[in-house]
Chain A
């Protein structure tokens, strides 16, 4: 295993001089084409000696072309890999410097990272330090992988050039054609930090090549910058549509050929599923056409529904980012347009709060439909997909957690990140937040529970967990997955009632589905949280009749 010290001893910037000098060597050889052509045995020369001289001249031309091809392949590889090596060297240097300035020692021979501040910490602090340590280790390992990968690829080209390449004849210019260009390696296994380090280890040209040629590598990869995910996923829309259409045609053909239709097969249900996914792609394209959107997730194969996430604004640069997870009956094909409009409105409201009362930072919002939300159809009878079960939320929680972490990992500076969860989506949100994440604020509304009865299980800073409950919302009192969040210690209640704030009037929201409506107090409260304006919050610690009915019995949770 190549050590940190070894990689840090490399001087990849010196390789540019090697490239320049190899180019000069190659130019000298290629410029000899005229001499080679004019040095050919004349056709008028006919003798036994001429019969020997002609193949000898041909061989000289071929061998010179081989030499040109070998030099070309090496200089191309050195040029490409030296850029990767410079990046990897810098990543490693930065990671080690960051570790040391953060109180971790790094053994550059063994790679061991040790916390030098491990005394007198609470459990939570220790967990945070461990998470920080893990991230540093990830970054160091990825930088080493990037460096070793570049070294390995360059070594392979050098080896091939030493063994000998075929220049393809005696035309020296043709032999210059790029040879031995390195094959890009796909993203490594690992978390968002690993993916980000891999991405940052690519040259700009390599990044663009990945987006164009291998968009599936990065479109849904947490830790990759939003701009790249967006471009990759947009590139994939037509591909996915073609693939799904082929599948739809196949299923339709099966049904047409089957005397009993779909009675004894699952083809009719599968066809309906595929048609819904095609409709979802149309919905996504319509949404993207509105402009200022980023397609951060596009996955037609991860579930029975197509999964997608669409941002309003720029997640790479926004100072405040909010990710919204909807709940029951949500699908891309039927819900994205409405939720995207809600998030667009919420982004504008939050931006206004930021500009007028906050730090003036920019805002981006995201609609995350990255899981199969329960549906009010035949799935009600399926214990694994029913709204009464937490199975679908559990299945989506890991992906949502990775999505949160990916936003932080993809940026040099973490944004102020808010998790929004509605209805069953708040359960998915609550479960996702029970693992380490970069979320700074949580707002749940119309929540049937967070998958826990204790706010301490939620990894969000103290006093930054908010719930909103509107009048006549029975779901918010269900307490179906852990106790009713209204009764959780440490949970802050925000208002959904009629409120006058300064000269501005905000409407009440009622029932289960009006929380995101424009000009409501609930929407205002979300905007205040997203923009970091705690002094603009409208609190409501009170509890309605439903909350009294859902009051948990002490000692039972």
Chain B
């Protein structure tokens, strides 16, 4: 009983932290910033590389946010599964006591 309470609490805390991280990363836009190099240096080699960098950074951070959200969900689901299993075990215990 006690062990399950600890695990579910820790899982929910971890899920919450991953949610914060995902939201924060989702709000950061380095891709948009680096794209401004192409405006400052038209027809330069850096301009084309900056556009590519912008695309790749944006895509990678979006992927990161998606993965972080999935991790958050995984942690939350596990916590709920633990709670569900605990409740089922408790019900089984009660039935056993009544039969005796």
The answer to whether residues A17 and B28 also contact, given A53-B74, A60-B64, A162-B56 and a CB cut-off of 8 A, is no
| A52-72 interface bits toward B, Cβ cutoff 8 Å, 1 = contact, 0 = none | 110011011001100100110
CB of A18 closer than 8 Å to a CB of B: yes
**How far apart sit A121 and B47, CA to CA, in the bound complex (Å)?**
46
The answer to whether residues A39 and B28 also contact, given A11-B41, A45-B7, A152-B45 and a CB cut-off of 8 A, is no
| B67-90 interface bits toward A, Cβ cutoff 8 Å, 1 = contact, 0 = none | 110111011011001000000000
Among candidates A42, A57, A70, residue contacting B11 with C-beta atoms closer than 8 Å: A42
A residues near B41, Cβ cutoff 8 Å: 10-12, 15, 85, 151
Interface of A is mostly: helix
Among candidates A35, A42, A78, residue contacting B37 with C-beta atoms closer than 8 Å: A78
CB of A251 closer than 8 Å to a CB of B: no
A residues near B99, Cβ cutoff 8 Å: none
Among candidates A9, A31, A41, residue contacting B14 with C-beta atoms closer than 8 Å: A41
Counted as pairs of residues, one from A and one from B, with CB atoms less than 8 Å apart, the total is: 157
Task: List residues of B (16-31) whose CB comes within 8 Å of A's CBs.
Answer: 16-18, 20-21, 24-25, 27-30
**How far apart sit A164 and B37, CA to CA, in the bound complex (Å)?**
19
The answer to whether residues A74 and B53 also contact, given A32-B25, A35-B24, A60-B68 and a CB cut-off of 8 A, is yes
The answer to whether residues A15 and B71 also contact, given A28-B24, A67-B60, A162-B53 and a CB cut-off of 8 A, is no
Are B28 and A28 touching (Cβ within 8 A)?
A: yes
| A72-90 interface bits toward B, Cβ cutoff 8 Å, 1 = contact, 0 = none | 0010001000000100000
B residues near A124, Cβ cutoff 8 Å: none
| Tally of contact residues, A, Cβ under 8 A | 56
**How far apart sit A158 and B13, CA to CA, in the bound complex (Å)?**
37
Among candidates A35, A60, A158, residue contacting B50 with C-beta atoms closer than 8 Å: A158
Among candidates A9, A49, A67, A158, residue contacting B49 with C-beta atoms closer than 8 Å: A158
Are B78 and A151 touching (Cβ within 8 A)?
A: no
Least CB separation from A20: chain B residue: B33
A residues near B81, Cβ cutoff 8 Å: 49
**CB proximity of B4 to chain A, nearest CB, Å:** 10
CB of B6 closer than 8 Å to a CB of A: yes
**CB proximity of A116 to chain B, nearest CB, Å:** 29
Are A15 and B37 touching (Cβ within 8 A)?
A: yes
**How far apart sit A9 and B39, CA to CA, in the bound complex (Å)?**
10
Q: Chain B interface: which size bin?
A: 35 or more
CB of A159 closer than 8 Å to a CB of B: yes
Are B33 and A25 touching (Cβ within 8 A)?
A: yes
**How far apart sit A57 and B21, CA to CA, in the bound complex (Å)?**
12
Among candidates A38, A41, A74, residue contacting B34 with C-beta atoms closer than 8 Å: A74
A residues near B71, Cβ cutoff 8 Å: 39, 53, 56-57, 60
**CB proximity of A1 to chain B, nearest CB, Å:** 12
CB of A44 closer than 8 Å to a CB of B: yes
Are A159 and B49 touching (Cβ within 8 A)?
A: yes
The answer to whether residues A63 and B46 also contact, given A28-B28, A38-B14 and a CB cut-off of 8 A, is no
A residues near B11, Cβ cutoff 8 Å: 41-42, 45
B residues near A256, Cβ cutoff 8 Å: none
Among B33, B39, B67, B74, the most chain A Cβ lie within 10 Å of the Cβ of B33
Are A29 and B40 touching (Cβ within 8 A)?
A: no
Are B44 and A155 touching (Cβ within 8 A)?
A: yes
Are B44 and A45 touching (Cβ within 8 A)?
A: no
What are 19 A-B contacts defined by CB distance under 8 Å?
Answer: A17-B36, A18-B33, A25-B29, A29-B28, A35-B21, A39-B15, A41-B11, A44-B3, A45-B10, A56-B67, A63-B60, A70-B57, A85-B41, A151-B44, A154-B37, A154-B49, A155-B45, A158-B37, A162-B55
The 5 closest A-B CB pairs, nearest first, are: A42-B10, A39-B17, A158-B49, A39-B18, A155-B45
Binding site for B on A (CB under 8 A): 2, 6, 9-12, 14-15, 17-18, 21-22, 25-26, 28-29, 31-32, 34-36, 38-42, 44-45, 47, 49-50, 52-53, 56-57, 59-60, 63-64, 67, 70-71, 74, 78, 85, 151-152, 154-156, 158-159, 161-164
